[in-house]
Amino acid sequence: MVDVNAFIDEAVNRIREQVKDGKALIALSGGVDSSVCAILAHRAIGDKLVPVYVDTGLMRKGETDRIRELFSFMNPRIVDASDQFFGALKGVTDPEMKRKVVGENFIRVFEVVAKSLDVDYLIQGTIYPDRIESEGGIKSHHNVGGLPSVIDFKGIIEPIEDLYKDEVREVARALELPEEVAERMPFPGPGLSVRVIGEVTREKVEVIREANAIVEEEIVHKFKPWQCLAALLEKGTGVKGDNRCHGWIVAVRAVESRDAMTANHMELPWETLNKLSSRITSEIPSVARVVYDITPKPPATIEFE
C-alpha cells in the first residue's frame, strides 16, 4: 500500500458520504477485517454505527467474551443465535451449502436487528482475495457468494474490498488496534462449521473448539504461522485405557502464506507435534487420533472444506 493514512482518510470520507444521515450496521466478528471496518466506520459516523456480534455457536474458545471487552467503547450488541445456526445446519453436509446456510442466517439475524433499529446500510469486511475466489467460483465465501439475493438494506458498503490481508494489517496498526487484533490469524466467516467434515453438531463443534484452542496455544506465539487450525475428520479406532474405542480423528494444520491464495505447510518440530498429539488426545477424551497435514495450497485449501 502506498500511503496508509491517505487510504484511511479516503475510506472514512467514503463511508460518511454513503451513509449520510442514516445508520449503518457492522457485522463485527473480532477478526482484523471487520475490526478495521468497524474502526473506520466509527470514525466516519460515530453513534450512527451499530456494531453487531452474532454468537453463532461456531466461534473459537473465549472469543465472544474477548470481543465484548475489546469493543466495549462501541457498545456492541451481542446476539446469541446459536440455536438458529445449529438448527439450520442440521443435516447439511455439503461445504458450499454450509457456507450458504451460515451466510443466510447471518443476514437474517442482521436484518432483524436492522429493522428494529431502523438501519439503512450494511458494512462488511470483505477483502480482495474473498472476492477473487468467489468470482472465480473456487469457493463461495459466506460474506460474498453466500448472500441471499433479496436484502432489505439500502446498500452494502465494503471499505476494504481492494486490500490484501497484509495491507489490512497495516491499516489496523495505523489505526492503533491492539496487536492481538492487528496480527490475528484469519478465521473463516462460517467459523468452526468448515472445520468439521460432514454434518455440524454441537458435540462435534465442542470437540474441535477445544482442539483449535490447544493448537493455537502451542503454535501461534512460538511459530507465528499465517494460520493454524484443527479440523474434525471422521471417527477411527483407538485404544484408551484397556479398551478399544471409536474416537475422533483430529487433523492439525499450520501454514505459511502471503495472501492465502497459495500456502505451504510449516515444518514444525517433532517435539511440538508430539505435544499436540498428547495434549489433544488426553485433554479431549473423545479424540483417539491426531494427524498433521503436510499438503500445500494448491492442491489443498487452507481450511478442510
In the DSSP assignment, the letter for residue 176 is T
Told to check if 303 binds ligand XMP by CB under 6 A, we report: yes
- Determine how many CB atoms are found less than 10 A away from the CB of residue 18: 18
Among 51, 76, 186, 247, binds ligand XMP (CB under 6 A): 186
Chain center to CA of 56 = 11
Which residue, chain included where needed, has cell 437474517?
Answer: 108
Pick the stretch among 39-47, 111-119, 148-156, 297-305 that binds ligand XMP (CB under 6 A): 297-305
Q: Is 74 within 8 Å of 49 (Cβ atoms)?
A: yes
How far apart CA 269 and CA 200 sit, in angstroms, is: 32
Distance CA 193, CA 81 (A): 14
What's the burial of 161, exposed, middle or buried (CB within 10 Å: 0-12/13-18/19+)? middle
The stretch near ligand XMP (CB under 6 A) out of 10-18, 136-144, 155-163, 272-280 is 136-144
Of 30, 57, 76, 189, the one binding ligand XMP by CB under 6 A: 189
Q: Which residues contribute to the annotated binding site for ATP?
A: 29-35
Applying CB under 6 A, does 143 fall inside the site for ligand XMP? yes
Q: Which of residues 219-258 bind ligand XMP (CB under 6 A)?
A: 227
Q: Which three cell numbers stand for residue 30?
A: 473480532
Instruction: With beta carbons less than 8 A apart as the criterion, state whether 251 and 304 touch.
Output: yes
**41-80 footprint of ligand XMP as x/- string (CB under 6 A):** ----------------------------------------
Residue 297 as a binder of ligand XMP (CB under 6 A): the answer is yes
Could you say which of 188, 192, 250, 281 contacts ligand XMP (CB under 6 A)? 188
Q: Output the DSSP codes for 66-122.
A: HHHHHTGGG-PEEEE-HHHHHHHHTT---HHHHHHHHHHHHHHHHHHHHHHHT--EE
* 302 is a site residue for ligand XMP (CB under 6 A): yes
- Least Å from the CB of residue 143 to ligand XMP: 5
**260, 266, 268, 284: which one contacts ligand XMP (CB under 6 A)?**
260
Shortest separation between residue 243's beta carbon and ligand XMP, angstroms: 36
Kindly indicate which of the ranges 166-174, 184-192, 200-208, 234-242 contains the residues binding ligand XMP, using the contact rule CB under 6 A: 184-192
Interface with ligand XMP (CB under 6 A): 99, 139, 141-143, 186, 188-190, 194, 227, 260, 297, 301-303
